[in-house]
């Protein structure tokens, strides 16, 4: 019998906020029921990095030789110290073609591929899931069918047939990988390659990254998830998604990353974005922060993270950020604060890029000032 998505046991940790601290839930060892596959994302959501908004007005390029301003921690700062969780998780779903169910023997198929590619991987069923690492929980899943808008928003190189098939009910397979947070850069690429191999073995045609909420053809998964790693580091824009939706107050938007849980790290929020603010700049800033945390998953000072384009070792993102700099310094200190989750946010800890404003200033001005310091006008 297939397992409903709400009945899959996982050790994916919850998080809470208290007095400015990011708390690792002490109930991490308990089993809990999860529903991570959200089939409907707000229709107003869009990929922030694809937005073509322009800045409200060109800011003067900062003097690169000027002394860097002193930066104070924001209110409710992220505490100093490591940010990586003890456990990292990655949820991957394999979808078959319509009326062509996945070949039988799901667990046997995963076991056979693991024996060849990752012998140390422990296979578990939902009812017997443990805390051992590295491990994968394997279970069938009855998909109710996906909304066309969701597929259009988050599809990567899907064929017209794939898009139609995803809208129909089907029996899919969930692979919930679990590995030590400190070993995420070693084990995540193994998990992504193994998922591709299992998909081919079972006859699946679409792979869902349940953390970033994106759907891939097998070829796109190989290009964007498997082959995009370089010298042990991920191309961050190809591993996470940045979604933007409206805030309660008219005219303001909020963007959130999806997928940092794969690295055992919190997802990143930018709030109070006014329409007309440089969306590409904020997307580049977010990618720079996420890549910095992947390379250096700790804060030396509470609420403060030094970011530097030159320090990014993964070549694709570093080159893209270099190309975006037009007179800026390419480095700055970013303020990070603890923030609470909102409906639809990833099931992960959240931290926010904070933009404290001086008396009489606006958040948009603070955002533009940081973007100008980093990238120029």
Is residue 32 domain-resident?
A: no
Q: Judge if 206 and 123 occupy the same domain.
A: yes
Task: Mark whether 76 and 90 lie in a shared domain.
Answer: no
Query: What's the mean pLDDT when you consider all of the chain?
Result: 83
Higher pLDDT, 285 or 105: 285
Residue 303 in tokens = 């609420």
As beta bridge partners, residue 139 has 174
Flag whether 218 is in a domain.
yes
* Helical ranges in 243-359 per DSSP H: 279-295, 315-324
Are 217 and 254 contained in the same domain?
A: no
pLDDT at 82 over 80: yes
Does 282 score more than 90 pLDDT? yes
The residue out of 202, 226, 250 marking a domain boundary is 226
Q: Are residues 305 and 356 in the same domain?
A: yes
Neighbours of 249 (CB within 10 A): 8
| Domain stop point among 193, 226, 259 | 226
Nearest 5 degrees, angle CA 88-CA 90-CA 93? Answer: 165
Does residue 66 sit in the same domain as residue 172?
A: no
Cβ atoms of 372 and 61 within 8 Å: the answer is yes
The pLDDT score that the predictor gives to residue 259 is: 98
Partners of residue 3 on adjacent β-strands: 141
332 and 317 belong to one structural domain: yes
End-to-end CA distance of the chain: 58
Tens digit of pLDDT for each residue in 219-231?
999 999 999 999 9
Same structural domain, 222 and 273:
no
> DSSP class of residue 233?
B
Is the peptide bond between 134 and the residue preceding it cis, with omega within 30 degrees of 0?
Answer: yes
**Would you state the pLDDT for residue 40?**
30
DSSP one-letter code for 240: -
Q: Which residues contact 200 (CB under 8 A, 6 or more apart)?
A: 218
Same domain, 243 and 307: yes
- At 33-76, the pLDDT tens digits run 233 333 333 333 333 333 323 333 333 344 443 344 578 899 99
Residue pair 95/172 in contact (Cβ under 8 Å)? The answer is yes
Is residue 30 in some structural domain? no
Strand 350-354 to 267-274 pairing:
parallel
Residues 135 and 260 reside in one and the same domain: no
**What is the rounded distance in angstroms from the CA atom of residue 104 to the CA atom of residue 44?**
39
> Would 2 be classed as within a structural domain?
no
Residue 160: phi, psi to the nearest 5?
Answer: -60, -35
Domain end: 226, 257, 283, which one? 226
Question: Is the confidence at residue 211, as pLDDT, over 60?
Answer: yes
Higher per-residue pLDDT: 358 or 339: 339
Q: 3-state class of 256 per DSSP? A: strand
94: three-class secondary structure by DSSP: strand
Q: How high is the pLDDT of residue 267?
A: 98
* The two structure tokens encoding residue 188: 């995540």
The answer, yes or no, to whether residue 216 has pLDDT greater than 90, is yes
Per-position b or e across 140-171, b if 16+ CB within 10 A of its CB: bbebeebeeebbebbbbebeeebbebbeeebe
Residue 34 domain-assigned (yes or no): no
* Local structure of 19: helix, strand or coil: coil
pLDDT the model gives residue 360: 67
CA distance 242 to 74: 23
Above 90 in pLDDT, residue 22?
no
Length in residues, the chain: 377
Q: Cα angle vertex 83, ends 254, 375, to 5°?
A: 50
Provide the residue range defining the domain that includes 187: 85-226
Share of the chain above pLDDT 70, in %: 81
Residue with tokens 């060892």: 29
276 plus 361 within the same structural domain? yes
Q: Which two tokens stand for residue 377?
A: 């006008």
Does residue 21 lie within any of the structural domains? Answer: no
pTM value is 0.84
Question: Does residue 104 form part of some domain?
Answer: yes
Q: Are residues 79 and 93 in the same domain?
A: no
- Asked whether residue 12 is domain-assigned, the answer is no
From 26, 13, 189, select the one nearest 84 (Cα to Cα).
Answer: 13
Task: Give the distance between the most distant pair of CA atoms in the chain.
Answer: 66
Beta strand pairing call for 170-180 and 87-95: antiparallel
Q: What is the mean pLDDT of residues 104-132?
A: 92
Structure tokens belonging to residue 149: 């808008």
CATH code for position 145: 3.30.1400
Residues 216 and 341 in one domain: no
Residue pLDDT, tens place only, 304-340: 999 999 999 999 999 999 999 999 999 999 999 999 9
Number of domains in the chain: 2
């Amino acid at each position: 019998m297939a397992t409903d998505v709400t009945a899959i046991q996982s050790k994916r940790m919850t998080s809470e906020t208290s007095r400015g601290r990011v708390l690792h839930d002490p109930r991490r060892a308990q089993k809990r029921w999860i529903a991570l596959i959200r089939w409907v994302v707000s229709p107003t959501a869009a990929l922030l990095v694809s937005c073509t908004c322009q800045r409200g007005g060109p800011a003067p390029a900062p003097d690169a030789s000027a002394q860097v301003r002193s930066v104070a921690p924001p209110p409710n700062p992220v505490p100093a110290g490591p940010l990586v969780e003890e456990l990292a998780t990655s949820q991957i779903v394999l979808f078959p073609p319509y009326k062509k169910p996945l070949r039988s023997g799901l667990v046997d198929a995963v076991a056979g591929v693991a024996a060849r590619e990752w012998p140390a991987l422990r296979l578990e069923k939902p009812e017997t899931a443990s805390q051992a690492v590295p491990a994968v929980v394997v279970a069938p899943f009855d998909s109710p069918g996906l909304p066309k808008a969701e597929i259009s928003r988050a599809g990567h190189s899907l064929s017209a047939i794939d898009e139609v098939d995803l809208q129909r009910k089907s029996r899919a397979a969930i692979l919930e990988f679990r590995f030590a947070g400190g070993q995420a850069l070693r084990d995540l690429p193994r998990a992504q390659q193994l998922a591709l191999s299992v998909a081919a073995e079972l006859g699946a045609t679409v792979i869902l990254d349940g953390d970033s909420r994106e759907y891939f053809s097998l070829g796109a998964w190989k290009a964007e998830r498997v082959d995009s790693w370089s010298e042990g580091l991920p191309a961050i824009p190809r591993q996470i998604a940045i979604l933007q939706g409206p805030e309660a107050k008219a005219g303001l938007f909020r963007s959130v990353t999806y997928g940092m849980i794969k690295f055992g790290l919190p997802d990143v929020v930018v709030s109070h974005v006014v329409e007309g603010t440089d969306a590409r700049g904020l997307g580049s800033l977010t990618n720079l922060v996420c890549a910095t945390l992947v390379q250096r998953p700790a804060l030396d000072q509470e609420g403060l993270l030094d970011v530097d384009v030159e320090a990014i070792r993964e070549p694709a993102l570093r080159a893209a950020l270099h190309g975006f700099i037009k007179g800026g310094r390419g480095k700055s200190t970013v303020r990070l604060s603890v923030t609470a989750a909102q409906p639809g946010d990833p099931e992960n800890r959240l931290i926010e890029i904070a933009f404290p404003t001086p008396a009489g200033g606006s958040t948009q001005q603070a955002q533009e000032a940081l973007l100008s310091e980093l990238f120029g006008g």
